[in-house]
Structure 1
Amino acid sequence: MTATDRFTGFVDRAHAAGRLVVQPRMGFGELHRMRAGLAAVREADATTVGTVTLDSYTRCLDDATARRALREDPAGLNGFPLLAHGVPAVRALLQECSSAAFPVQIRHGTPRPLRLFRAMAETGADATEGGPVSYCLPYGRVPLAQAVAEWSAGCELLAARPVPPHIETFGGCMLGQLCPPSLLVALAVLEAMFFQEHGLRGISLSYAQQIHQGQDLEALAALRRLAGERLSTTHHIVLYTFMGVFPRTEDGSRRLLAESARLAVHGGAERLVVKTPAEAHRIPTVEENVAALEYAASVAARTPDGADGPRATSSGLYEEARTLVDATLETGRTIGECLVRAFALGVIDVPYCLHPDNANRARATIDARSMLGWSRAGGMPVTARGAAPVTARRLTELLTFNRRRFDSDVRRHPLRSAS
């Protein structure tokens, strides 16, 4: 039997102790800044895991440009250039900063991860994330079949390690917003099944906070139920603070972050990936990341986990997500083949996603109850409620829904600083 990886073990112990694990999305170009960032997160007044987020050149496997940026303007990089630094330097960084009491996840964003996974394995990284769909469709024009092939090989490479690293599916965060929760749940489960099929045993399934707390609670319950039915591996649920257009005001951002922390507690998520009030304007500093982690942890600690919390909606979300999973699995023999075929047939169709392998016939909208739903089904086995066509002006309104909601709430109800 495969030994439990450090990341899985840490999250399991924290959950057993009643603590929510909080995590930043943080990456810096220079080794000393990355080291200082990890140390600050480790010492934060919260139960934390570390993050090394890679830069956009490395995500695109543009080694030459990453190396040039590292020489000429390392502070200008929007993440950590792992391949440019080289395996020995990164291995030394992780050996110094990570441990069973503070595991570190490498986040990357590439549809072609084989070279990165090979380097990650050699550095001894505790965890990584992504998926053949969620790191392909939103990030470029790499054919989905090619992404599936590379992810298959990469996952098998990681699975061959004496203790395979933990892996997190990013499918529950597809496009960050305007993706109805049933599809987010289905994609998270399908990517987790893909990881399991290729031998990985420590898995987490993501879901991104959307716009309606009751609907999000229903989605988290559906995700946990479907994962329990379809996975034989150890797994947990990770919630992301809203990934769309963030509030412009600091207080509005803090209100949104606080709502995500409460959602994590009420929805039973074991881990929360946070955003900071700086997100609407620029890449946050180490200090801003730590402040967001500590604030989210303090809100979670004050949130009662019981029957007195908000209620989940009852909209048939689990049944719709299960139908999408089942319809996908009917299209092929392996999970990877099923994913490619399902997109080709339009059985899975991500609204507003322009990737050539996505049908882009389905549409979503926000209804009068402030819930996300299907306005046009395309070829998907879902029920569309029907709505007027989404114009450019209406799309902008939909995309800025949470920003306007939380900023206007602030103007009516100013938020006191956290104690």
Structure 2
Amino acid sequence: MGGHLDQFVTANREHHRLVVQPRMGFGQVHAMREGLRAVAALELPVVGTITLDSHTRVGDYLTPLRRLADGDELNGYPLVSHPVATTRTMLDGLNGPAFPIQVRHGTALPQRVFRRLVRVGLDATEGGPVSYCLPYSRVPLAEAVAAWAESCRFLAGETEHGHVESFGGCLLGQLCPPSLLVATTLLEGLYFRAHGLRHLSLSYAQGPHDEQDRGALRALRALAEVYLGDVAWHVVLYTYMGQFPRTAAGAAGLIRAGARLARDTGCERLIVKTVSEAWQIPSVADNVTALRLAAEEAAGPPEPPTAVQDAFRDEVLSEARSIVDAVLDLDPDIGSALVGAFARGVLDIPFCPHPDNRAVATCVVDGRGALVWGRTGNVPVPGPAREIERLSSDRLLAMLNHVARRYDGEVAS
């Protein structure tokens, strides 16, 4: 059995329904089950999530059990720490064709997570050798590339419909040019395919400029047809991952905008944030409310693209294709190509401090509110680089808070 995520998404795509999904994880087994049950009870096309805790993400499987024994809360479910039988019981009667469940984990070296998720009866997860290494760890990229290769081959060999969602379209959550997000998720998709996986999803994170996002998502879909046309894939949009609005109305407005963006660009799945995102770890009730809000907004008719979106699409498509092709030209082995690309600065994530990232390239929010390259470094994007002065801390802070202030300001006005 298995393959529930792919089957579920495909069935809803055929009926033009957007699948919504929370980012939710709890340390206690009963809390995790109750959270999943609450989401499963919604009369919506919804996927369940088991988000792992921060200790598991760095390979610490003992601390979670000690903390739970002491009555502490965790920020996720310690999948590797809990016994297999315990998690199987927790999932009993939930995971299935009507309610697929995905593991989300943030782990640069994921072998044990992959082995455990298969043992408990799951086959869908997320991440990637770049997207779960550079932004979130100090693990050398070459080690992450090797670890993810082993993990992908294991998932492909042990499951019929093993599914990995690239997190490459969400690098650092903000202040990353859309073409780099599109290129990275495509490269991770190619990497997954090279290691035996035939069921993928490609991600993109909602940014500060709606029309730019619409163009970028159309470019992503067009390029996926070219580079990944021989495997099953769909597109996943993430609600804005930077500083969230602090007012409930502002946060709701941003969630609604993300749902419309997903609907209008044909995204099959939407990862939904909550109105309480800016001040607390969201509760089950917060997640349920946000899922309903997003699904309600996405139910309307799609809006057609505009000339402005067409221009953004063409720009992102050209830049992303240039980046992907430059990386693939470095080495016939895509893992080696990824490592070499970062060593040469062909791939360079703005503001990412990982030792294997050059951090020469920069990104700014321009006068339109769009994300554009500042310095391009060695990233092979066509056209003249937009060289800028050194970013001040005040300008960087303003860019980081741009979206939150805009949505809260709209409410205040």
Q: Shorter-chain TM-score: what band?
A: over 0.9
SS of the equivalent of 2:42 reads coil
1:167 aligns with 2:158: no
Please name the residue that 1:258 is paired with: 256
User: Where does residue 67 of structure 1 map in the other structure?
Assistant: 65
Structure 1 residue 255, shift from structure 2 partner:
0.3
Shift of 1:64: 1.6
SS at match of 1:82: coil
How far, CA to CA, are the matches of 2:257 and 2:223 in structure 1? Answer: 25
| Structure 1 match to 2:81 | 84
The change in CA–CA distance for 1:386 and 1:162 in structure 2 (over 3 A counts) is closer
* Deviation, structure 1 residue 92: 2.3
- Tell me which moved more, 85-94 or 231-240: 85-94
2:148 equivalent in structure 1: 151
3-state SS, counterpart of residue 317 of structure 1: helix
Residue 91 of structure 1 deviates from its aligned partner by 2.1
Structure 1 residue 47 displacement after superposition: 1.2
Amino acid in the other structure paired with 1:209: Q
| Aligned partner letter, 1:57 | H
Q: Contact 1:130/1:170 (CA < 8 Å) preserved in 2?
A: yes
Distance in 2 (alpha carbons) for counterparts of 1:371 and 1:238: 21
Give the 3 Å change call, closer, same or farther, for CA 308–199 of structure 1 in structure 2: closer
- Hey, what does 1:343 align to over in structure 2? 342
Q: Secondary structure at the match of 2:237?
A: strand
The residue that corresponds to 2:370 in the other structure is 371
1:208-287 → structure 2 map (5 Å cutoff): 208-231=205-228, 232-287=230-285
Runs of 4+ deviating beyond 3 Å? 308-311
Residue 387 (structure 2) pairs with residue 386 (structure 1): yes
In 1, are the aligned partners of 2:30 and 2:90 still within 8 Å (CA)? no
Structure 2 CA distance for partners of 1:332 and 1:404, relative to 1, 3 Å: same
Give the aligned partner of residue 202 of structure 1. 199
* TM-score where L is the length of structure 2: 0.96
Cα offset, 1:63, TM superposition: 1.1
Structure 1 unaligned segments of length 5 or more: list them. 413-419
Q: CA deviation at 1:306?
A: 4.3
The residue that corresponds to 2:6 in the other structure is: 8
Decide which of 120, 127, 131 is 2:117's aligned counterpart: 120
In structure 2, give the amino acid aligned to 1:398. Answer: M
Q: Distance in 2 between matches of 1:121 and 1:310?
A: 46
Letter in 2 for 1:279: E
**Residue 173 of structure 1 contacts residue 207 of structure 1 at CA under 8 Å; is this kept in 2?**
yes
Q: How does 1:3-82 map to 2 (within 5 A)?
A: 5-74=3-72, 76-82=73-79
- RMSD of aligned alpha carbons: 1.4
Counterpart of 1:61 in 2: which secondary structure?
coil
Asked whether the 8 Å contact 1:176–1:208 carries over to 2, the reply is yes
| Structure 2 match to 1:416 | none
Deviations 1:326-345 (A, max 9, x none): 01111112111110000000
Alignment partners' CA distance in 1, 2:268 and 2:287: 19
Q: Secondary structure at the match of 1:97?
A: coil
Query: Shift in Å at residue 167 of structure 1?
Result: 1.1
**Residue in 1 that maps onto 2:177:** 180
Code of the aligned partner of 2:402: F
1:375-419 C-alpha deviation (Å, 9 max, x unpaired): 10111112422223211111000100001100000111xxxxxxx
How many residue pairs get aligned? The number is 408
Q: Greater shift after overlay, 380-389 or 128-137?
A: 380-389
Specify whether residues 309 and 73 from structure 1 end up closer, same or farther in structure 2 by C-alpha distance, changes over 3 A only: farther
Pair 1:405-2:403 in alignment: no
Counterpart position of 1:293: 291
1:63 aligns to what SS in structure 2? coil
Indicate how the Cα distance of structure 1 residues 65 and 261 shifts in structure 2: closer, same or farther if over 3 A, else same: same
With over 3 angstroms needed to count, the CA separation of the structure-2 counterparts of 1:49 and 1:59, relative to structure 1, is: same
Shift of 1:179: 0.2
CA distance in 1, matches of 2:293, 2:310: 27
Percent identity between matched residues is 50
Q: What TM-score, normalized to structure 1? A: 0.95
- Matched-pair contact (CA < 8 Å) for 2:216–2:317: yes
Gaps of 5+ in 2: none
Q: Hey, what's the Cα distance between the residues in 2 that align with 1:134 and 1:368? A: 29
Rounded Cα–Cα distance in structure 1 between residues aligned with 2:305 and 2:163: 34
**Deviation of the 1:308 alpha carbon:** 7.4
Check the 8 A contact 1:6/1:100 in 2, yes or no: yes
**Inter-CA distance 43–311: structure 2 relative to 1 (3 Å threshold):** farther
Q: Quick one: structure 1 residues 13 and 71, their matched pair in 2 at CA, closer, same or farther if it must change by over 3 Å? A: same
- Give 1:164 shift: 3.4
Q: In the alignment, is the contact (CA less than 8 A) between 1:94 and 1:125 conserved in 2?
A: no
Q: Is residue 373–residue 384 contact of structure 1 (8 Å, CA) maintained in 2?
A: no
Q: Hey, what's the Cα distance between the residues in 2 that align with 1:313 and 1:282?
A: 38
Q: CA deviation at 1:62?
A: 0.5
Structure 1: distance between partners of 2:92 and 2:16: 28
